[in-house]
Amino acid sequence: MKAAISVGLGGSTRFELRDFARPKPHAHEVLVEVHASSVNPKDWKYITVLNGLMPRVGLPPFVLGDDMAGVVVEKGAQVVGFEAGDAVYGMSIYPNTGAIAQYARLDARRAALKPSNLSFSEAAAMPLAGLTALQALRAAEVRAGSKVLILGASGGVGTFATQIAKAFGAEVAGLCSTKNLELVRTLGADEVIDYTQPSFTVPERKFDAVFDAVSHYPMSACASWLKPDGIHVSALDGAGGTMNLLRAELAYGHRRAKCVFVKPNSRDLNTLGTLCEEGKLKPVIDSEYAFDDVGDAFARSRSGRSRGKVIVNVKPR
């Protein structure tokens, strides 16, 4: 089978399809014929660096990708709830999930049946970003009537967070650039804030929760936008996220700070799927690339200009 890897370091990194043996599922895993996957910053921030180092220590490179959607072709001895032929989606968080490949193993406890109203490309957009958004909003204790500010509302995680917060009954303000204002409005945001304007200010009113979906904004700034008992949540992402995690017990008055590190599981995937089937959630796809063009997909993700998710269609449609 073919699978995507990265070769080289830094500016010399290139992406290739390489032949690998078709994997065999372990006891709790299903083997998925992958129809589509998506690009996440984790791959180009960490895995491409690791792959550049692997040859130096005599190890093979990691296959890229976490998110997958496809069809079950085989299952392990202890798998229940899935059968060959089922259309599924999901993710693992292992360094070598290997989802950008023609076949990939997936822990059945981190998989769910594909929502009936989504294409494989749409389903592949959802696991990592959708689960991060869902779990972050829970950590922020968002509920009906909550006032929520989402930073990076037009990105992969932010587009899910905006819709999920609205599905929870929250009042949502989304922070994004000028070109993305209308997109964030269409996702249901009650208010959009353009951070590119010279006069940019967050409204004087305070929020019950601030979710930094891009792990970019200083905790002090987020704290200033919160009510006295508000909660700031950020997605764990590199050194900045690690520092936030180390400081998560610090408080600004009674304000709290939390970090989330996505925990893939079938229950939460099913929650996302139900929201999709109820018409309350729809993945936002920035662009789609053929399997052979995986390098272009990574370039688009790394550009920082994508709106929603970047998809790799592993199996031609």
Can you tell me the mean pLDDT for 228-257? 64
Could you tell me the domains of the chain?
Answer: 2-126+283-313 (3.90.180.10), 130-260 (3.40.50.720)
Measured CA to CA in angstroms, residue 245 lies from 47, 57, 103, 149, 215 at distances of 22, 31, 35, 20, 11
Higher pLDDT, 38 or 223: 38
Q: How far, in whole angstroms, is CA 193 from its chain's centroid?
A: 23
Q: Is the pLDDT of residue 245 over 80?
A: no
Looking at mean pLDDT, say which of 154-168, 257-271, 296-310 comes out highest: 154-168
Give the span between the Cα atoms of 223 and 257, in whole angstroms.
Answer: 8
> Which residues are 215's β-sheet partners?
none
Can you tell me the mean pLDDT for 307-314? 96
Sign of CA dihedral 238, 128, 248, 95: negative
- Degrees to nearest 5, angle at CA 36 with 33 and 276: 110
- The torsion defined by the Cα of 47, 214, 148 and 242, in degrees rounded to 10, comes to 70
Name the CA radius of gyration of the chain, rounded: 19
AA letter at 190? D
SS3 call for 222: helix
Chain mean pLDDT for the chain: 90
- Degrees to nearest 5, angle at CA 178 with 174 and 180: 60
Q: What local confidence, expressed as pLDDT, does residue 236 receive?
A: 65
pTM of the predicted model, to two decimals?
0.92
Using one digit for the tens of pLDDT, what is the confidence trace for 11-26?
778 999 999 999 999 9
